[in-house]
């Protein structure tokens, strides 16, 4: 990791630590967009991290998202980062205000106009523009959200996941060399791995802290062997998730990137379920209350686990890739780096 990247992550850590508290997350779940936090991120140029003007790369994006996940930042940061990256590749004009990213459920249109329905768009209600990709070779499309109809929806964690419909609006941007719709989907799946790996670290920290503070039978519950065992399992799951995410990030330019993302999303999703269960067991009834902040992280883990493919989807992808090479190539598939 370069000194520049380390400085960037330290800056992000301070920003999120100063602004992301339980009150902010509660307000976000009630529909209030964290504009002050977004303004600070914009002022520091973080959403433009993976664009030519900043000199950052996609690997830095996933490192930054791990920090955001650790603080459960209630912003469409992953979509903004990848959206700006795609917009730059597609030759779009500079984004005006908050940029988010959507997945097209359906798209049609001729010439310079487009009809499209986008599902699960994070914070479309608060954004100015949205980016999505279509076709093969891939075309990047940027649209102004002032020209659409928005139906406000949320995911399991109370995060904004809106439905957006455009009818007969101007099409902007162009082709993104070297990109496919499949690669964009893989990148977005990896953003969820990065966010979850950060949230898993935070859940581990909260659980250890609670086990050290909560007294039972005259001593902290963290002194009991059964609780220590559960915390050890939690720590192992968090570490495995982080390692799987790092491995996929390291293969961004490799022919094995798709397989690495599949392994990461499957492994991190598995960890999310195990860690959420253990964390709530350690916290007991307190962990289920709204007053405690644990639920902000565990609900996000379970929500992000569902987005861009659950474990079974990615496990099947790995299985098909392995079977497609035949028995003679199975070992090479497993050990190929």
What digits encode the pLDDT tens for the residues 155-176?
999 999 999 999 888 766 777 7
Question: Tell me, what CATH number does 245's domain have?
Answer: 1.20.140.10
Whether 78 is covered by a domain: the verdict is: yes
| 192 and 78 both lie in a single domain | no
- Say what the pLDDT of residue 199 is: 98
Residue among 221, 225, 192 at smallest CA distance from 207: 221
Q: 306 pLDDT exceeds 90?
A: yes
Q: Which residue range is the domain that position 142 belongs to?
A: 3-170
Q: Which residues lie across from 130 on neighbouring strands?
A: 100, 143
- Say what the pLDDT of residue 204 is: 98
| 58 and 85 both lie in a single domain | yes
- State how far the alpha carbon of 91 is from the alpha carbons of 6, 47, 57, 60, 281, in Å: 29, 17, 17, 22, 50
Domain count, the chain: 2
- E-assigned strands of the chain? 99-101, 103-108, 113-122, 129-134, 139-144, 149-151, 161-170, 215-216, 219-220
The tens digit of pLDDT for each residue in 198-220 reads: 999 999 999 999 999 998 888 99
- Say what the pLDDT of residue 93 is: 67
| 161 and 202 both lie in a single domain | no
Whether 331 is covered by a domain: the verdict is: no
Whether 238 and 275 have beta carbons less than 8 Å apart is answered as: yes
Whether 20 and 72 have beta carbons less than 8 Å apart is answered as: yes
| 44 and 186 both lie in a single domain | no
| 15 and 90 both lie in a single domain | yes
The 149-151 sheet, strands edge to edge: 103-108, 113-122, 161-170, 149-151
**Of 284 and 92, the one with more pLDDT:** 284
Separation CA 318–CA 309 (nearest Å): 13
| 152 and 20 both lie in a single domain | yes
Whether 287 is covered by a domain: the verdict is: yes
């Amino acid at each position: 990791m370069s000194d520049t990247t380390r400085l960037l992550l330290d800056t992000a850590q301070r920003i999120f630590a100063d602004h992301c508290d339980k009150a902010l997350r509660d307000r976000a779940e009630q529909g209030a967009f964290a504009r002050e936090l977004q303004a600070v991120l914009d002022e520091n140029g973080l959403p433009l991290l993976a664009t030519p003007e900043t000199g950052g790369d996609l690997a830095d994006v996933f490192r930054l998202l791990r920090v955001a996940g650790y603080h459960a930042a209630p912003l469409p940061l992953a979509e903004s980062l990848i959206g700006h990256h795609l917009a730059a590749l597609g030759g779009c004009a500079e984004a005006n205000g908050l940029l988010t990213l959507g997945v097209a459920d359906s798209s049609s249109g001729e010439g310079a106009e487009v009809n499209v329905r986008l599902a699960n768009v994070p914070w479309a209600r608060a954004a100015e523009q949205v980016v999505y990709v279509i076709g093969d070779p891939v075309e990047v499309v940027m649209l102004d959200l002032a020209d659409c109809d928005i139906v406000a929806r949320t995911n399991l964690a109370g995060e904004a996941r809106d439905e957006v419909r455009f009818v007969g609006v101007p099409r902007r941007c162009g082709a993104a060399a070297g990109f496919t719709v499949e690669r964009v989907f893989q990148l977005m799946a990896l953003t969820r791995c990065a966010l979850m790996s950060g949230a898993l670290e935070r859940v581990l920290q909260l659980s250890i802290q609670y086990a050290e503070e909560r007294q039972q039978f005259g001593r902290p519950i963290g002194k009991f062997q059964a609780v220590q065992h559960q915390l050890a399992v939690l720590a192992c799951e968090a570490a495995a998730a982080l390692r799987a995410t790092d491995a996929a990030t390291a293969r961004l330019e490799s022919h094995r990137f798709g397989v690495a993302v599949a392994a990461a999303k499957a492994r991190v999703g598995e960890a999310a379920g195990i860690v959420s269960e253990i964390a709530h067991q350690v916290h007991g009834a307190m962990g289920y209350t709204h007053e405690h902040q644990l639920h902000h992280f565990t609900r996000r883990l379970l929500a992000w686990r569902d987005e861009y493919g659950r474990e079974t989807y990615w496990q099947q992808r790995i299985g098909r890739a392995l079977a497609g090479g035949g028995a003679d190539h199975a070992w090479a598939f497993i050990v190929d780096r």
